[in-house]
């Protein structure tokens, strides 16, 4: 079965590649905003970058206050890209599982033997980059 002159699994890999690219973009944006937050702290205070997260009684890191408005703005952007990466990862895993199940069914057109390995690589690669977008608390 061909769609637009390409095999069905090629179209699937293009879509999965798009989702993986979106996760990679989310990782790069989270990295950028984490660095931006560190620069703001170094420029305007003598505090370490994890100062606002170091107390367990803090209510929420996105709580609005006027003391650290640039930091709050950067953290909101970080939280947006992190949430986008997590949601995209969930979609990617479901799509990869669906493509694999379709490729293993007897009624589906043949697919290459390496398709399962590529789907696994996309899944684990995107899991790595999604994990890297999650903010860690103070490490001890």
pLDDT at 43: 74
Per-residue model confidence as pLDDT tens for the chain (140 residues): 566 667 888 999 999 999 999 999 999 999 998 888 888 777 766 666 565 555 444 445 555 555 577 778 888 899 999 999 999 999 999 999 999 999 998 888 888 999 999 999 999 999 999 999 987 543 43
- The DSSP line for 67-115 is TTHHHHHHHHHHHHHHHHHHHHHHHHHHHHHHHHHHHHSTTSPP--TTH
pLDDT at 63: 53
Task: Tell me the CA end-to-end span of the chain in Å, nearest whole number.
Answer: 55
In the chain, where are the structural domains located? Answer: 2-68+78-132
pLDDT at 75: 85
pLDDT at 41: 74
pLDDT at 55: 46
Q: Which residues of 86-106 are buried (b: 16+ CB within 10 A; e: fewer)?
A: eebbeebbebbeebbeebeee
pLDDT at 138: 39
pLDDT at 12: 92
């Amino acid at each position: 079965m061909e769609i637009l002159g390409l095999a069905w699994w090629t179209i699937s890999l293009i879509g999965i590649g798009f989702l993986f690219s979106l996760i990679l973009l989310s990782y790069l944006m989270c990295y950028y905003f984490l660095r931006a937050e560190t620069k703001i702290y170094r420029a305007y205070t003598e505090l370490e970058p994890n100062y606002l997260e170091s107390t367990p009684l803090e209510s929420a890191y996105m709580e609005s206050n006027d003391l650290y408005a640039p930091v709050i703005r950067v953290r909101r952007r970080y939280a947006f890209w992190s949430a986008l990466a997590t949601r995209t990862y969930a979609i990617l895993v479901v799509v990869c599982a669906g493509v694999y199940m379709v490729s293993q069914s007897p009624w589906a057109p043949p697919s290459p033997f390496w398709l399962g390995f590529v789907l696994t690589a996309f899944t684990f690669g995107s899991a790595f980059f999604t994990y890297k977008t999650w903010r860690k608390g103070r490490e001890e």
